[in-house]
Amino acid sequence: MRLMSTSIEAFQTMVNERNPRFFDPVPFVQKDIDRIYNQEQVTVGMPMGAEIILNALSREHTVAIVGAQLGDEGKGRIVDNKLEQILSIPGMQMAYVVRFQGGSNAGHTVYTPEGRKIPLHQVPSSINEDRAVGIMDSGMVVHMEDLKTEIEDGEAIVGDLRNRLYLSEEAKLVTDLERAEEVVNRFKSSGKSGGGTGRGISPTYANDLSRLGTHVKDLMAENWREVYAARYDRYAKEFAVHNYDIATMQVPDLRATRDQKKAVTRNLGTMDEFLDRLESVRNWYIERDASQPDQPSMIQNTFLMHQEMYNNLNAGVLFEGAQAVGLHHAIGRLPDVTSSDTSINGIAAGTKLWKAQDIREKIGVMKLTYMSSVGSVHMATDLMLPRKAITDESGLTGAQKFGAWVREEAHEYGTTTGRPRDICLLDLELMRYNIRMGGIEMLAGTHLDIAREDMPIKVCTHYVDSTGQRVAYQPGVEHQENLTPVYVDLPGWDGAAAQQARTFDELPDNAKKFLAFVQAQTATPITAVTNGPQREQLVEIPRWELPPKPFLGVDVQN
Ligand code: IMP
């Protein structure tokens, strides 16, 4: 097999082919198989010199990382790795990690260099790095008590986070009222609004759009008690219409959940109990600030911070997405979606200063050899494994056996709930759509070691209807009903051998070809892959080999 030497024109060809491949992928399937598997021409990664184009269009040292599938793709690893890379650039003084959407529905796990696990929901993944500052921006929905718990637990592991963590005063405030509202909404919609994580995400975003919501600064204002007492009162009346007694409604208790290591709920409580809890957490933030009066407050006008950081080229900026493009409120797998803009375009509204084009590396993270999903709906390529532990494999198809093996091998169980995740085959139609609409320009693949030599990897290249006509992926699971996914079987490889690789060259040949196929089919460069659970099991894909030619009138040799 030879690695195809190529130049920037090949990159241009790839980009130029994006639309033809998106609108009519079928002719490309056999063409890619012939080129990669028969002629052994393997092209993976970005060409050298692509920076020239990207630099001209964007702010240096900026990276956005979002999920390209349905969540849980392993974004944390990639964020960690990119942060390390940015901080190792000569002259780089610090980096910001900005969360721009979502809230405690997200579950990110960060490991310290010693291997200690830090589970994060609202706090950005910057927590490990002394030279990194986390920003929870205005696009987020933040529950202040949960945040306190996360900060306390994080500080117990990594030390003082003051001056390393900021919260936008304009972030949307989630209280236990919004969490209870999620329960009532489920009832009001006869279960149709179900499937949420119960963290109050959808009511908080909905209230924000209806201009009914409150923000972090409302809790910190002098008149906070009147505002939240009136709010409690209004909620109590509305809930009573639906026969809910507000005081006994159950809401998640993160402190107890963390301490007891299982999901624990508590009563929302009487008005006084609710207000006293808010007061106690409010005081905690005030006292925290008071403990270092000459330092900026943790609760900030982050817009001003962005103004400054944009122009400080000695600071890297990393935008950390939560959930995934497939869970986007409008272009995700409706109806089972989250309520925020999970795409790279969401950075604009979520930071109020950065636009997508400012960002140099727009990375989508994907599981490579399969996809996983949580929630109520089934995707087109779902292997329909039982949503419980599988004890008997005798009734399973070959593909389902692969899925059952994947579930165990990759431990595809929810981090908080322990529920087995649905296992789906890699869906390139979904990927092309999510890449296009999610503003993704590069891919980072995870789980390259989840493969076996004796099992082919089935990959869906497109869907057809009952007449054999190709039908495009359209967001919304109803649009995949009655469609048949068309699969190609690609040769597997030895996952244990893949785990040993530290460079692209060391990967098994079939893994390289698989990456080349995914890159060709999505017309999007794969720039890094993870090949095992350890921090160092990450393979950077080198730039293509030929020295770049002058492009756009700029000579890259100079
Ligand atoms: P919500 O964000 O709590 O409203 O939940 C809406 C849907 O998004 C549900 O199907 C959740 O399971 C899913 N979801 C929310 N956050 C995540 C995540 O971080 N990973 C995977 N799925 C998620």
Q: In 3D, which of 299, 282, 335, 326 has the Cα closest to residue 476?
A: 335
Is the confidence at residue 469, as pLDDT, over 90? Answer: yes
Q: Are the beta carbons of 45 and 544 closer than 8 angstroms?
A: yes
Q: Are the beta carbons of 66 and 521 closer than 8 angstroms?
A: no
What average pLDDT does range 233-244 have in this prediction?
98
Distance CA 400, CA 411 (A): 16
What average pLDDT does range 475-481 have in this prediction?
95
Name the more confident of 126 and 54: 126
Active site residue 130: no
Tokens (6 digits) for 140: 């987020």
Secondary structure class of 26 (helix, strand, coil):
helix
Determine how β-strand 442-446 pairs with β-strand 422-424. Answer: unpaired
Is the confidence at residue 192, as pLDDT, over 80? Answer: no
491 lines ligand 1 (CB under 6 A): no
Q: How far is the CA of 56 from the centre of ligand 1 (A)?
A: 36
User: Which entry of 32, 61, 80, 108 is annotated as an active-site residue?
Assistant: 108
Residue closest via CA to ligand 1's atom 8 equals 338
Reported pTM? 0.93
Name, in order, each residue with C-beta under 8 angstroms of 528's C-beta and a sequence gap of 6 or more: 78, 81, 444, 445, 538, 539, 540, 541
How far is C-alpha 67 from the chain's CA centre? 4
**Largest Cα span, the chain:** 73
Q: Are the beta carbons of 198 and 143 closer than 8 angstroms?
A: no
Q: What DSSP line would sit under 279-306, residue for residue? A: HHHHHHHHHHHHTSTTS--SEE-HHHHH
Name the more confident of 74 and 9: 74
Residue 452's DSSP bridge partners are 455
Distance CA 99, CA 124 (A): 6
Residue closest via CA to ligand 1's atom 21 equals 71
Distance CA 258, CA 256 (A): 5
Q: Helix 224-241 vs helix 271-290: angle between axes, to the nearest 10 degrees? A: 150
User: Pocket of ligand 1, candidates 104, 338, 341: which has the most ligand atoms within 8 Å of its Cβ, to mutate?
Assistant: 338
The helix (H) or strand (E) run that includes residue 365 is strand 359-367
Is the confidence at residue 492, as pLDDT, over 60? Answer: yes
The helix (H) or strand (E) run that includes residue 254 is helix 254-260
The pLDDT tens digits for 157-170 are 999 999 999 999 99
Q: How far is the CA of 122 from the centre of ligand 1 (A)?
A: 14
204 lines ligand 1 (CB under 6 A): no
End-to-end C-alpha distance for the chain, whole angstroms: 34
Distance CA 531, CA 501 (A): 8
Distance CA 454, CA 456 (A): 7
483 lines ligand 1 (CB under 6 A): no
Q: How far is CA 426 from CA 106, 220, 381, 421, 423, in A?
A: 23, 46, 7, 15, 9
The pLDDT tens digits for 420-456 are 999 999 999 999 999 999 999 999 999 999 999 999 9
Question: How big is the CA angle at 263 (ends 262 and 266), to the nearest 5 degrees?
Answer: 125
Q: How far is CA 319 from CA 427, 508, 514, 556, in A?
A: 26, 32, 29, 28
Percent of the chain whose pLDDT exceeds 90: 81
Secondary structure class of 208 (helix, strand, coil):
helix
Tokens (6 digits) for 431: 């990927």
Residue closest via CA to ligand 1's atom 22 equals 71
181 lines ligand 1 (CB under 6 A): no
User: Which entry of 72, 80, 137, 341 is annotated as an active-site residue?
Assistant: 72
Q: Of 106-110, 114-118, 535-539, which has the strongest mean pLDDT?
A: 535-539
- Residue 377: its pLDDT value, please? 92
71 lines ligand 1 (CB under 6 A): yes
The helix (H) or strand (E) run that includes residue 540 is strand 538-540
Active site residue 341: no
339 lines ligand 1 (CB under 6 A): yes
User: Pocket of ligand 1, candidates 125, 189, 197: which has the most ligand atoms within 8 Å of its Cβ, to mutate?
Assistant: 197
Residue closest via CA to ligand 1's atom 10 equals 375
Single-letter residue type at 329: H
Secondary structure class of 94 (helix, strand, coil):
strand
196 lines ligand 1 (CB under 6 A): yes
Backbone angles phi, psi at 460, to 5 degrees: -85, 120
Q: How far is CA 476 from CA 197, 331, 428, 481, in A?
A: 19, 8, 16, 10
Secondary structure class of 528 (helix, strand, coil):
strand
Q: How far is the CA of 355 from the centre of ligand 1 (A)?
A: 25
Q: Check whether the bond before 27 is cis (ω within 30° of 0).
A: no
The pLDDT tens digits for 335-393 are 999 999 999 999 999 999 999 999 999 999 999 999 999 988 999 999 999 999 888 99
Residue with tokens 């056999």: 30
C-alpha torsion angle, residues 261, 262, 268, 273 (rounded to 10) = -20
106 lines ligand 1 (CB under 6 A): yes
Tokens (6 digits) for 333: 């797998």
321 lines ligand 1 (CB under 6 A): no
What average pLDDT does range 463-470 have in this prediction?
97
Name, in order, each residue with C-beta under 8 angstroms of 3's C-beta and a sequence gap of 6 or more: 42, 43, 545
Secondary structure class of 504 (helix, strand, coil):
helix
Q: Which atom of ligand 1 is nearest to the CA of 374?
A: 12
Name, in order, each residue with C-beta under 8 angstroms of 189's C-beta and a sequence gap of 6 or more: none
Tokens (6 digits) for 398: 């070959």
Band the pLDDT of 13: cuts 50, 70, 90: confident
Is the confidence at residue 550, as pLDDT, over 60? Answer: no
Q: How far is the CA of 496 from the centre of ligand 1 (A)?
A: 32
Secondary structure class of 407 (helix, strand, coil):
helix
